[in-house]
Amino acid sequence: MFLTFHASILKWFHPNDPDLFPSHEHTQPGPIVTAKGVEEYTIKKIINECQHGHGLQYLVHWKGFGLSNDLWLPWQEVEDCEALDDWLAHMV
């Protein structure tokens, strides 16, 4: 049995206006500061990959951030990342 619903009950998404509803804003986590004072953010997962020049780039989704903050990073920046290991395991 499949759950269904009528399309007439769908509504358009309206992003929050922080001036009108500041309490509805989602907080984003701050960076992890290493012992050397370097700021690091956590990659939740890798979404896509593409060939760029002579190397690969990966589209990363950051933990605690929305899709608008996804970023393409060269493989050198994610080579020691657990998210890359997961991505490569699913590509096989």
Query: Span 9-37, mean pLDDT?
Result: 82
Write down the domain spans for the chain. 12-91
Query: Span 68-75, mean pLDDT?
Result: 91
In this prediction, residue 59 carries a pLDDT of 95
Residue 86: which pLDDT band, with cuts at 50, 70 and 90? very high
Q: Under CATH, which architecture does the 12-91 domain have?
A: Beta Barrel (2.40)
In this prediction, residue 34 carries a pLDDT of 84
DSSP string, 2-52: -----GGG--------TTT-GGGPPP-PPPEEPTTS-EE--EEEEEEEEEE
What is the value of pTM for the model shown? 0.65
